[in-house]
Structure 1
Amino acid sequence: MLFRRTLRSSAALLALLLPFAAACGGDAQADSPADVTLRVGSTGWKTEEAVLKYAGLDDTPYNVKWSLFQGGDQQLQAIRAGALDLASSSEIPPVFAAADGTPNFKVVAVQRGATLNQEVVVPKGSKVTGIAGLRGKKVGYVQNTTAHYFLYELLKQAGLKWSDIDAKPLLPNDGLAALNGGSIDAFASYGTSVITAHQQGATTVGSGKDILSGNFLWSARDSVLESPVEKAAAADLIARITKAYAYVRDGHLDGFAEVTADATHQPLAQARKDLVAAQAQRPTEARTVGDDAIASQQKVADVFTELGALKSKLDVKSFWSTALNAELKKAL
């Protein structure tokens, strides 16, 4: 029942977002920054909004409306429905959003970030100690996200095929409930859901840390790129997030660790340890669109074609754009 409910929730998301998109508008041309409202997605606990506020960089001359989603896949669905202007995700969600028809968005920037807390976990007391032990097991995963990708790659490394497990697509919160309730034997997820799983006694049997590229993508609706004022606002916001993380690294880690601990309900020491480790592994910072980033996503798309999740090979550069490069470079 849990699995079916989760699948229905994804299918219903677009229908729920359509009236919201109509109410919000977003296609009218703005004449000045004060007329602009960027509708921006966030996954987990609105980390980007929090870091901007912490660094004192949330005083934008334009308006920002943040919306929280359980995954980047849902953000891209919202972009497709016209309910978001900017979506932040891993490399995977834009692939599926573009493969599902003519996309109304472009990938306009890359945010380099840590690949920690991207794991396959098993519940407390499990006898599974590694990926090879998942053969024949019920394994939950967050579909069309990093979890989908690194789970497949970890299975290959262990000599297993996707068909060797009973794969169950689940949203992060539903996956946690299924793991704790015994409905699944393992769960591939990321971020806050992995942190919470460990707090509840789960252990790690596989990690995507060295599998994932660390490229997290900013996707903008085409209408944003058609408006000079909205385009400038998008570039400014992305640059501000980079500057906010630089502020955190420059002697302000402890304070943002407190913000993180409060939001994720974890001990302060653990929040600080994770924050230090993440920024040490790969400092959070934006980059303009380049051939290397496009090639990295093409590799990911080809893996999903191999898996059979995509019906045919997808040329990812068709939904990338350098339209934000000049403004973003200047803002950075």
Structure 2
Amino acid sequence: MLRHTLRASAAALALLLPFAAACGGEAKAESSSDLSSVTLRVGATGWKQEEAILRFAHLDDTPYKVKWSLFQGGDQQLQAVRAGALDVASSSEIPPVFAAADGKPDFKVVAVQRATTLNQEVVVPKGSPATDIAGLKGKKVGYVQNTTAHYFLYELLKRAGLKWSDIDAKPLLPNDGLAALNGGGIDAFASYGTSIITAHRQGARTVGSGADILSGNFLWSARDSVLKSPAQRAATADLIARITKAYAYVRDGHEDGFAKVTAEATHQSVAQAKSDLVAAQNQRPTQARTVGDDTIASQQKVADAFTELGALKEHLDVKSFWTTELNTDLKKVL
């Protein structure tokens, strides 16, 4: 039924879009109903969870092609977008801030995906005497730069009465940070997702969490060239909607099946994978929403924190790289 509904929505969209394109001046030469020639290059972080969940929910039969590329962080995805190697990136609120800091972004945030903020933690290795963030004063603390880890580590330090300068902060990629944590190169590590799951499996303990610090807004960013193409815009909106519907399918009694998929990809037990999946969806069901003033204001708060930290040289007005251009297409297919 879910598949049928989506196909019906896609069919309706195909009927409507030529009329919208015909009103678009120069854009009318390209019909957005013709998606067969579109290839979207889309980024994923940690493991290709979005690709996997679409396949699991039988929603991967897109009328356009999707080329997924795996990255260790959303910051790398935004770098790839700016380099012309990706069309669409998924990230937290933080990477677009730094990608736009030079004042010449060639991308826009086009949609928001509400999602869990669990597994966003500061961890210490087995045997560490540290029991909280205050215990990290003077210690070597790894973090994934220009990501959620950078932000929640800064906020956790402030809550503990510490300054950024009170720790020896070491920017590291997730895999490098795990190796340094296990090898004694750092005393703690702020990271997210699969790297935190792996750290716990290796005996690490949590001393701080970003669960209640992060907004739960994860952003879809697209190259400006995507927004200029009615067909690519329609395909992007359709893909984002499919991911939302795939998560709804999992929540509708299919947690066991997707837990098996997750367990295989993340090298954990099926029981643990299901526990994490259920906890994540209970905390905040994964679903897309359109751009609004509140989502822009949420990222502005994050950008202001990085200005305060000194990571941004000057104030950044984030609304300069947001757009509502995808809102109409996305509302039609959600």
Q: TM-score scaled to structure 2, two decimals?
A: 0.90
Q: Quick one: distance in 2 between partners of 1:100 and 1:140? A: 26
| Counterpart selection for 2:44 from 38, 42, 45 | 42
Q: Quick one: distance in 1 between partners of 2:270 and 2:231? A: 40
What does 1:196-211 align with in structure 2 at a 5 Å threshold?
A: 196-211=198-213
| Counterpart selection for 2:327 from 304, 325, 328 | 325
Partner residue, 1:64: 66
Greater C-alpha radius of gyration: 2
Q: Quick one: distance in 1 between partners of 2:157 and 2:167? A: 9
Q: Quick one: distance in 2 between partners of 1:48 and 1:121? A: 26
Matched, 1:129 2:101: no
Letter in 2 for 1:129: T
What does 1:99-110 align with in structure 2 at a 5 Å threshold?
A: 99-110=101-112
Q: Quick one: distance in 1 between partners of 2:38 and 2:102? A: 29
What does 1:112-123 align with in structure 2 at a 5 Å threshold?
A: 112-123=114-125
Q: Identity of paired residues, percent?
A: 83
What does 1:48-197 align with in structure 2 at a 5 Å threshold?
A: 48-197=50-199
Q: Report the secondary structure of 1:40's partner residue.
A: strand
Q: Quick one: distance in 2 between partners of 1:134 and 1:273? A: 30
Q: Quick one: distance in 1 between partners of 2:245 and 2:294? A: 23
Residues 116-167 of structure 1 deviation map (CA, whole Å, 9 limit, x = unaligned):
0000000000001100000000000000000000000000000000000000
Matched, 1:241 2:243: yes
Runs ≥4 residues deviating over 6 A: none
Matched, 1:253 2:283: no
Q: Quick one: distance in 2 between partners of 1:151 and 1:61? A: 42
What is the Cα-based RMSD across aligned positions, in Å?
0.8
Q: Quick one: distance in 2 between partners of 1:75 and 1:331? A: 25
Deviation at 1:197, TM superposition (A): 0.3
Letter in 1 for 2:82: R
Q: Quick one: distance in 1 between partners of 2:219 and 2:49? A: 15
Letter in 2 for 1:329: K
Partner residue, 1:220: 222
Q: Report the secondary structure of 2:60's partner residue.
A: coil
Letter in 2 for 1:124: K
Stretch deviating more after TM superposition (274-283 or 96-105):
96-105
Q: Quick one: distance in 2 between partners of 1:96 and 1:56? A: 36
| Counterpart selection for 2:277 from 263, 266, 275 | 275
Deviation at 1:188, TM superposition (A): 0.1
Q: Quick one: distance in 1 between partners of 2:109 and 2:226? A: 12
Give yes or no for contact 1:30–1:36 (8 Å, CA) kept in 2: no
Q: Quick one: distance in 1 between partners of 2:293 and 2:331? A: 16
Q: Quick one: distance in 1 between partners of 2:120 and 2:204? A: 14
Q: Quick one: distance in 2 between partners of 1:103 and 1:281? A: 33
Q: Quick one: distance in 1 between partners of 2:181 and 2:65? A: 40
Letter in 2 for 1:224: V
Deviation at 1:30, TM superposition (A): 6.5
What does 1:283-322 align with in structure 2 at a 5 Å threshold?
A: 283-322=285-324
Deviation at 1:59, TM superposition (A): 0.2
Q: Quick one: distance in 1 between partners of 2:270 and 2:121? A: 21
Q: Report the secondary structure of 2:313's partner residue.
A: coil
Q: Quick one: distance in 1 between partners of 2:113 and 2:254? A: 21
Q: Quick one: distance in 1 between partners of 2:255 and 2:197? A: 19
Gaps of 5+ in 2: 1-28
Q: Quick one: distance in 1 between partners of 2:103 and 2:39? A: 27
Q: Quick one: distance in 1 between partners of 2:331 and 2:281? A: 22
Residues 193-242 of structure 1 deviation map (CA, whole Å, 9 limit, x = unaligned):
00000000000000000000000000000000000000000000000000
Letter in 1 for 2:228: E
Q: Quick one: distance in 1 between partners of 2:207 and 2:327? A: 40
Q: Quick one: distance in 1 between partners of 2:300 and 2:273? A: 34
Letter in 2 for 1:177: A
Letter in 2 for 1:75: Q
Count of matched residue pairs: 304
Q: Quick one: distance in 2 between partners of 1:212 and 1:227? A: 33
Q: Report the secondary structure of 2:259's partner residue.
A: helix
